[in-house]
């Protein structure tokens, strides 16, 4: 059974931005189905609710994991660099710091905008105004509840090729009222996902083991220690789970439980298939049973293992080789009614999407359930067509996005006198 800790540092370093991009593309998977079911306005409202549920919780977790105990803009920006909402380069945030409590950022490239602009100004406004305003603040308050993130300019772009795509100021004033924690995030903080204990970081290892010190313009993950990269990967997988729970809650506020579960499963299927293909390429894997088991074990929609308890193992040899996927009946993820609860003997599409992304002939799935959980046997069969949920997600430019090596990152230093 493969885990993040079994991967070497260079492979983990490549995996981190992939997991961030996967998390960002969850909404490309889910929102299309929301628009079809409820329309654009409800889609935007759900987008707000899912992110303000999850973001304050997972940001606080990453702060704890990486020793980010400050309350200024630098620590806030460090958290944003490790957020599934801001995968490097695809969402190319460029930060500036004036002093401890004042700074800003612009998006040199916004992959989300590139995806949405063809849909028209109404959709751009929904994303860049209605969703961004409350969700940026929800992220900021995990560092300082007196923080405010406000636009200097943002899309719809006028002129159409305006660059950078948007620009924002960040201010923290000591005499300003604190923003309240969103009720959804308070509820989320009580979930098993919010409280699960993940792998510890060994401070004696070679490489960066925390993010104290200077804010860096880019994060070069090859500089980080093995255990830090393992923990970051686990936290990013958990960010997926928290966002998915928030999505299900928000949808459930607008429809019955069965319909909400169906939309959650469609969201899961789409991102499961798209991410599986990218993971296989990122890790340099083949199409054999061992590669499939590895993708399943490392896939963020099925992890982290401490939370989901899901295992994938190769079985057999030669032409009889296959994979056994085990989803336990009892886990934190099942208790939270998260993504693993969407998979049962009658609903195997999320697993099929992953298997088919490794190779289309991994199409023969057989499931059995008992009191201890669900067992899914995956074997070879006729190559099938890509599932519609995956094809919908693939419209994003993130589906084919390639990360570049930007070399040694520069430190971002304050440009003005501290007002602290």
- pLDDT digit string (tens) for 160-176? 999 999 999 999 999 99
Under DSSP, is residue 276 helix (H, G, I), strand (E, B) or coil?
helix
pLDDT at 384: 87
* pLDDT band at 418; cut points 50, 70, 90: very low
At residue 374, does pLDDT exceed 50? yes
User: What residues contact residue 211 under an 8 Å CB cut-off, 6+ apart?
Assistant: 66, 67, 68, 78, 82
Share of the chain above pLDDT 70, in %: 99
pLDDT at 419: 44
pLDDT at 420: 41
d(CA 172, CA 169): 10
pLDDT at 417: 53
Cis amide linkage into residue 304, ω under 30° from 0: yes
Task: Report residue 388 as tokens.
Answer: 């519609």
Task: Report residue 391 as tokens.
Answer: 């094809």
At residue 336, does pLDDT exceed 70? yes
pLDDT at 319: 81
Rounded average pLDDT over 399-415: 95
Which has the closest alpha carbon to 406: 81, 137, 178? Answer: 81
Task: Report residue 394 as tokens.
Answer: 């693939």
* pLDDT band at 147; cut points 50, 70, 90: very high
Query: Between 419 and 57, where is the model more confident?
Result: 57
Q: Is residue 377 within 8 Å of residue 324, measured between CB atoms?
A: yes
pLDDT at 131: 96
Under DSSP, is residue 215 helix (H, G, I), strand (E, B) or coil?
strand
Cis amide linkage into residue 156, ω under 30° from 0: yes
Eight-class DSSP state of 208: B
Rounded average pLDDT over 49-73: 97
pLDDT at 162: 95
- Express each pLDDT in 243-302 by its tens digit: 999 999 999 999 999 999 999 999 999 999 999 999 999 999 999 999 999 999 999 999
* pLDDT band at 1; cut points 50, 70, 90: confident
At residue 151, does pLDDT exceed 90? yes
d(CA 63, CA 385): 42
pLDDT at 359: 98
**What pTM value is reported for the model?**
0.97
Q: Is residue 385 within 8 Å of residue 367, measured between CB atoms?
A: no
* pLDDT band at 210; cut points 50, 70, 90: very high
């Amino acid at each position: 059974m493969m885990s993040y800790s079994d991967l070497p540092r260079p492979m983990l370093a490549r995996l981190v931005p992939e997991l961030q991009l996967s998390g960002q593309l969850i909404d490309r998977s889910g929102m299309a189905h929301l628009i079809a079911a409820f329309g654009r306005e409800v889609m935007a409202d759900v987008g707000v609710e899912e992110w303000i549920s999850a973001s304050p919780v997972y940001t606080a977790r990453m702060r704890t994991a990486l020793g980010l105990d400050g309350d200024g803009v630098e620590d806030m920006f460090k958290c944003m660099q490790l957020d599934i909402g801001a995968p490097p380069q695809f969402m190319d945030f460029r930060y500036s710091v004036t002093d401890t409590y004042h700074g800003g950022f612009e998006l040199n490239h916004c992959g989300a905008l590139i995806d949405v602009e063809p849909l028209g100004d109404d959709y751009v406004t929904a994303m860049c105004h209605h969703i961004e305003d409350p969700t940026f603040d929800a992220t900021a308050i995990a560092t300082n509840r007196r923080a405010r993130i406000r636009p200097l300019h943002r899309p719809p772009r006028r002129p159409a090729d305006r660059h950078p795509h948007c620009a924002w100021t960040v201010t923290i004033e000591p005499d300003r009222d604190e923003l309240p924690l969103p009720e959804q995030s308070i509820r989320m903080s009580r979930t098993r996902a919010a409280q699960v204990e993940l792998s510890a970081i060994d401070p004696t290892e070679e490489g960066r083991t925390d993010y104290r010190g200077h804010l860096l313009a880019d994060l070069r993950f090859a500089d980080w220690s093995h255990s830090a990269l393992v923990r970051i990967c686990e936290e990013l997988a958990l960010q997926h789970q928290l966002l998915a729970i928030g999505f299900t809650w928000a949808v459930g506020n607008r429809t019955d439980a069965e319909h909400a579960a169906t939309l959650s499963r469609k969201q899961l299927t789409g991102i499961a298939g798209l991410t599986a293909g990218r993971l296989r390429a990122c890790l340099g894997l083949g199409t054999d049973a061992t590669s499939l088991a590895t993708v399943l074990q490392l896939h963020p929609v099925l992890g982290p293992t401490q939370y989901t308890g899901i295992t994938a193992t190769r079985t057999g040899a030669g032409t009889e080789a296959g994979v056994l996927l085990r989803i336990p009946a009892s886990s934190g993820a099942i208790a939270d009614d998260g993504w693993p609860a969407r998979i049962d003997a009658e609903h195997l599409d999320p697993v099929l999407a992953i298997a088919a992304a490794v190779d289309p002939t991994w199409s023969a799935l057989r499931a059995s359930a008992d009191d201890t959980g669900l067992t899914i046997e995956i074997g070879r069969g006729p190559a099938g067509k890509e599932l519609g949920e995956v094809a919908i997600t693939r419209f994003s430019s993130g589906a084919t996005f390639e990360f570049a090596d930007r070399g040694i990152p520069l430190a971002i230093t304050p440009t003005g006198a501290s007002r602290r």
